[in-house]
Amino acid sequence: MYNVTLIPGDGIGPSVIDVAVKVLQATGIEFNWDRQVAGMAAVYEFGNPIPEPVIESIRKNKLVLKGPLTTPVGGGYRSVNVALRQEFQLYANLRPAVSFQGTKSPFKNIDITLIRENIEGLYAGIEHDIIIDNQKIAAESIALVTRSGSERICRFAFEYAKKHKRKKVTAVHKANILKCTTGMFLEVAQEIAREYPEIEFDDKIIDACAMQLVMAPESYDVIVTTNLFGDILSDLTSGLIGGLGLTAGANFGEDVALFEAVHGSAPDITGQNIANPIAVIKAGVMLLQHVGEKKAAKAINSCAHELVAESKYVTPDLNPKANCGTRAMGRELVSRIKNAMKK
Ligand code: NAD
């Protein structure tokens, strides 16, 4: 029995999380879901996007499956996602992009793992307005990059590459312009790389990397980078495999692990039963891998890839002609997983 904090989230979150829970339960593994309200739903209910019970639940369970949370653009409260990552020091964000057959993507055989520093850089939340005569005349955001934070994430990337028998780690930076911050990040990556001579290492400037990911994605294996660059590049790598409906991420700290989709709350499609649940299901697969439930993780993953490849029981982002919604896609997956677990 696994005790897991479950945050359905905002927008399409509750609908895709509902499918993910049914899919995980179809494996026969027992979960004790500790349901918690965070984000906009919690603002409406409690006037606070992260009520104390959410923090207590995560502290106790140490495992979290989370739907997307809305953050208003501009004013309003700070991102709940960023706050949770900082509260639990979830310093490593792992976002794998692995091709599915049957998508519209022209790219085949993509297998890129993006590892993003998750609590520093421009997301450290050190920013302020400069107001003179009651008028905002400027604003400053500080990108905080520490040597220890850079060492921690670069080591995480090389340990990941070693454990998963990956061949190459690429450090992505902007050390030609942001010499102090990403310059130090690159210097640290080069130092750590020397401790892993069996793993090839190179580095790329962020803009060149973005172009090359589209022109020659096969030249990338594991990417390690700072917070903002990782956030942007992981949407790019999601695009390479067919869109945001397909990619998941894990956030790791020393003792807490939080699993979620890469996508957001998708207000444009909320309430239409057309959100693709695969991304959150993939987050569930990462959770199972984390706790060592290899058979169940493999069964869900194979059934999900099979379903997408057939293109029949899939949401409109994958095949508009399939005429299939979120719930029907989930039901088909649940029945296949039950069969797969009997084998
Ligand atoms: P988004 O990821 O919600 O949506 C981008 C586009 O992708 C939209 O057209 C949407 O319809 C589509 N899309 C996303 N998920 C999909 C799915 N499962 N199936 C089919 N199509 C899907 O990005 P956004 O619109 O920029 O952000 C909306 C809100 O989500 C914002 O408040 C943002 O802060 C938040 N957000 C949260 C997280 C998180 O909780 N981890 C991540 C990203 C964005």
Q: Is 224 found in the same domain as 133? A: yes
Strand duo 2-7 + 121-132: pairing: unpaired
Write out the DSSP string of 280-306.
HHHHHHHHHHHHT-HHHHHHHHHHHHH
Q: Which domain holds residue 167?
A: 106-241
User: Which ligand 1 atom sits closest to the C-alpha of 261?
Assistant: 41
Per residue in 277-292, pLDDT (tens digit) is 999 999 999 999 999 9
Q: Are residues 258 and 202 in the same domain?
A: no
Domain count of the chain?
2
Nearest to 234 by CA among 96, 99, 333: 96
Are residue 224 and residue 251 in the same domain, yes or no?
Answer: no
The strand pairing partners of 142, in sequence order, are 126
Same structural domain for residues 85 and 38?
yes
Residues 266 and 208 in one domain: no
| 205 and 151 within one domain | yes
Decide which of 241, 260, 287 is a domain's last residue: 241
pTM of the model: 0.95
Closest residue to atom 41 of ligand 1, CA basis: 68
Q: Tell which of 187, 208, 241 closes a domain.
A: 241
> Rounded to the nearest whole angstrom, what is the distance from the C-alpha of residue 263 to the centroid of ligand 1?
4
Assess contact for 91 and 31: CB atoms under 8 A: no
Read off the pLDDT of residues 221-258 as tens digits, 9 standing for 90 and up.
999 999 999 999 999 999 999 999 999 999 999 999 99
Q: Are residues 203 and 131 part of one domain?
A: yes
Structure token digits, residue 284: 């569930």
Q: What is the CATH number of the domain that holds 162?
A: 3.40.718.10
Cβ 120 vs Cβ 146: under 8 Å: yes
Amino acid at 113: T
Beta bridge partners of 98: 111
The set of catalytic residues is 123, 174, 207, 231
Residues having CB closer than 6 A to ligand 1 are 12, 16, 68-71, 81, 244-245, 260, 263-269, 275-276, 279, 317
Number of C-beta neighbours around residue 32 at 10 A: 10
Q: pLDDT band for 83, please (50, 70, 90 cuts).
A: confident
Does 100 fall in a domain? no
Residue 101 covered by a domain: no
Query: Of 336, 275, 259, 263, which is closest to residue 302 (Cα–Cα)?
Result: 336
CA-nearest residue for atom 26, ligand 1, is 264
Distance 265 CA to ligand 1 centre (A): 5
Of 200, 225, 241, which one is at a domain's C-terminal end?
241
